[in-house]
Structure 1
Amino acid sequence: MTRAGSKVDALRALHRRRSPDDPLVLPGPWDAASARVFVGAGFPALATPSAGVAACLGYEDGQTPADEMFAAVARIVRAVDVPVSADIESGYGIAPEELVERLLETGAVGCNLEDSEGGVLKDPRAHADWLARVRHAAADRLFVNARIDTFVRGEHDPKQAAERAIERAALYVAAGADCVYPIGAPTDVLPLLRSGIQGPINVHGTVAGGPSPTELGELGATRITFGPQLQRGAAQALRDIAAGLAR
């Protein structure tokens, strides 16, 4: 088994047979230094946030050129010896076959793919077809996390957004997604999502305040990620230090 193969198998194993009070917590590194900090703290895998990486590279969220994002992911992967999943937004307009190969070249063994673009939800069946092409190209080499944007781009009513998310999740899982990520889902609809979705569910956690990882797991989360919160917290800490030096 190749080293990359070992890592993707390890990432899949981390999502299986998890007890409700022990979800997989995946911190989001934005550069090599932060990745080493998280691994040093004992986390068994990492998931890069596109917004956090964008900020590190000097871009607004969603504005990072594909070449720079892939290069940043490669630097993070090289810095650590645990599985890394990469947020590659909606795929940068790259054909699935090329997208998969470019991602694998970075050393990442997972990816986060959104079902909206330019602030607009994609047609779910068309997106499922696209995900199926990603799955076919990747075979078993990537753990695919399909982000569902109905809570942030679609319905305003949480229950309706949950129902649409469940419908999309069924299509994406059938297309080969290993996990689904209904980003922005309020905690009170997590049990509904859990009852209607087959397989692992990624939930957005909070760094301070809000439900703990254990509480989110009991509500239905299989894994928890944090988007750019950790990078923004680190930036605020640096601003505080800088302000003290400037006095």
Structure 2
Amino acid sequence: MPTESRRPRFHDLHRGERPLLLPNAWDVASAVAFVDAGFPAVGTTSFGVGAAAGRPDGGRASRDATAALVRALAPLDAHVSADVEDGYSDDPEEVAAYVAGLGCAGVNVEDGTDGRLVDPAAHAEKIAAIRERCPEIFINARVDDYWLGEDATVPAVLRRAEVYVAAGADGVFVPGATDPGELRELAAAIPVPVNVLAVPGRTLDELGGLGVRRVSTGSLPYRAALDAAVGVATAIRAGEPPVAATSYRDAQQALVRFAERT
């Protein structure tokens, strides 16, 4: 991994030959593992962060845990983008102050609150406040029409995206959008990098061919980790041999190297 002075800017990673694959971590160890696997940037996942603390996703429950995790990840030799739900406040200045205190390379801010879409003008005010307070940060504006099943059409998404880009968004995230034709249309019409969740049956290069510039894993790694952990225990209970895994020594050394950077 290149040093900070030589590392490509987070913004530039969205304009490479292939889409940026952003794995989403839920704690320090998962973030360290992603970076050790060669990823130049990691995101956080509000679902995973909240779940690790015993809280369901949404409802602004991940506010403090997300801030603590992002600050703990500061020594990583990689860019960090924080999933901050809806900014954890209806007040644009409070949202901007929260983001400014994270010290990360990017944020993902969604336009849904309590499971419903908000007025795009209100969300644009949050984006504008973040942009003014944090001119260097990559603002990924999440458009939740598809995710929440409200007015889930290309024209509706484009109307919201236009407002958010005008307010200062650097990227637009459309979780839940999977149809190739719709993805192509969205990417062609939105003038900033378009981000989607990993789409079953579509490779990174195929999504790139549709115009997508960033692909996030969301909470998938966290949920897969739960399945794997339960699988280990149930296999042993069934009399099967333990599965192969990273050795204790290697896992420990990865954390030792991280701790030495703090």
Q: Using the TM superposition, give the Cα deviation of residue 245 of structure 1 relative to its aligned residue in structure 2, in angstroms.
A: 3.0
Structure-2 change in CA distance of 1:81 and 1:132 (3 Å): same
Over aligned residue pairs, what C-alpha RMSD do you find? 2.2
User: What's the counterpart of residue 143 of structure 2?
Assistant: 148
- Aligned partners of 1:86, 1:57: CA distance in 2, in Å? 17
Unmatched 5+ residue regions in structure 1? none
User: What's the counterpart of residue 55 of structure 2?
Assistant: 59
Larger helix share, 1 or 2: 1
User: What's the counterpart of residue 205 of structure 1?
Assistant: 198
AA in 2 matched with 1:242: A
Larger-gyration structure (1/2): 2
**Structure 1 stretches (4+) deviating beyond 4 angstroms?**
6-9
- More moved, 64-73 vs 178-187: 64-73
- Aligned partners of 2:66, 2:90: CA distance in 1, in Å? 13
Q: 2:87 aligns with which of 87, 91, 101?
A: 91
Calculate the TM-score normalised by the size of structure 1: 0.87
Sequence identity of aligned pairs in percent?
Answer: 40
Pair 1:236 & 2:236 matched: no
Q: Secondary structure at the match of 1:113?
A: strand
User: What's the counterpart of residue 220 of structure 1?
Assistant: 211
- Describe the superposition over 1:23-79 as per-residue Cα deviations: whole angstroms up to 9, x where unpaired: 11110111111111111111111111111111122111114242222112222x235
Structure-2 change in CA distance of 1:123 and 1:87 (3 Å): same
Q: Secondary structure at the match of 1:139?
A: coil
User: What's the counterpart of residue 73 of structure 1?
Assistant: 70
Number of residue equivalences: 234
User: What's the counterpart of residue 34 of structure 2?
Assistant: 38
- Aligned partners of 1:235, 1:105: CA distance in 2, in Å? 31
Unmatched 5+ residue regions in structure 2? 239-262
- Aligned partners of 1:212, 1:171: CA distance in 2, in Å? 30
Pair 1:178 & 2:175 matched: no
- Aligned partners of 1:45, 1:176: CA distance in 2, in Å? 22
Q: 1:193 aligns with which of 175, 178, 186?
A: 186
Q: Secondary structure at the match of 2:191?
A: coil
Residue 99 of structure 2 contacts residue 130 of structure 2 at CA under 8 Å; is this kept in 1? no
Structure-2 change in CA distance of 1:9 and 1:128 (3 Å): farther
User: What's the counterpart of residue 12 of structure 1?
Assistant: 11
Structure-2 change in CA distance of 1:115 and 1:7 (3 Å): farther
Residue 150 of structure 1 contacts residue 165 of structure 1 at CA under 8 Å; is this kept in 2? yes
Q: Which structure ranks higher in relative contact order (CA pairs < 8 Å, sequence separation ≥ 6)?
A: 1
Q: Secondary structure at the match of 1:227?
A: coil
- Aligned partners of 1:8, 1:87: CA distance in 2, in Å? 22
Structure-2 change in CA distance of 1:102 and 1:131 (3 Å): closer
- Aligned partners of 2:125, 2:93: CA distance in 1, in Å? 13
